[in-house]
Structure 1
Amino acid sequence: MKKIMLVCCAGMSTSLLVEKMEKAAAKDNINVKIFAVGEIDLKNHMDVDVVLLGPQVRYLLNKIRKTMEPKGIPVDVIDSMMYGTMNGEKVLKKAMELINNSK
């Protein structure tokens, strides 16, 4: 099972996106655990396969990459349009591509 972590300011604004991604994963029979955390809780969740940042915390990208990428964990920012429209299917596809390309 792959683990996808979404990061935003407090972990709240991404919760709807998590639900939409879970529905897309279920529809496509993708075995993943998707969860959202606030930036402050990131250090408590280092056992993930990919980290996606909400557009509102894109300023954290380099800082989080320095922490996660040496462990082989890809980090990227969710496209603003995908985030704004809560397109769980496209965000899930992006997460899976990042996981598959990091191996």
Structure 2
Amino acid sequence: MEKVIVVCEAGITTSLLVKKLNDLAQEKGQEVDIQSKSLEEGLDYIKEHNVDVVLLGPQIHHIAKKYEASTDAKVAKITVEDYNTMNVYSIFEQVSEA
């Protein structure tokens, strides 16, 4: 099972996005565990768990190098447009490309 975390400043605004991504994964019949984490929570999480993909919300793109240095997982940035429109199809593609 692929493990993905979606990280934003506080971890709150991504909860709906994560639900929609999990629903899409289920609809596609893919086994993916997608969770929402806050900025600091995410850094701790990737040190303790194997994660395949880290998706960063637009408000924390500037911290990407810190995440890249802390994990072997693919670190991808969700575009402002995809994030604001909750374009789960486009965001899910980033997960699938990992």
Structure 1 gap segments, 5+ residues each: none
Amino acid at match of 1:66: A
Q: Say what the alpha-carbon RMSD is for the aligned residues.
A: 1.1
What is the CA distance between 1:27 and its match in structure 2? 1.0
Alignment match, 2:81? 81
Residue among 53, 57, 60 paired with 1:54: 57
Q: Secondary structure of 1:11's match? A: coil
Quote the Cα distance in structure 2 between the aligned partners of 1:87 and 1:22: 13
In the comparison of the two structures, how many residue pairs are matched? Answer: 95
CA shift, 1:87, in A, is 1.3
Q: TM-score scaled by structure 1?
A: 0.86
**CA–CA distance in 2 between the matches of 1:24 and 1:76?**
19
Which residue, 65, 68, 85 being the options, matches 1:65? 68
* TM-score, structure 2 as length reference: 0.90
Which letter maps to 2:40? I
Q: What does 1:38-53 align with in structure 2 at a 5 Å threshold? A: 38-46=38-46, 47-53=50-56
Write the distance in 2 (CA, Å) between the matches of 1:79 and 1:95. 14
Residue 89 (structure 1) shift = 2.0
Divergent runs of 4+, >2 A: none
Q: 1: CA distance between counterparts of 2:2 and 2:60?
A: 23
SS at match of 1:45: helix
In structure 2, give the amino acid aligned to 1:53.
Answer: L
Maintained 8 Å contact 1:20/1:87: no
Taking only the aligned residue pairs, the percentage that are identical comes to: 34
Note if contact 2:24-2:88 (Cα within 8 Å) is conserved in structure 1.
yes
* Residues 1:16 and 2:13 are matched in the alignment: no
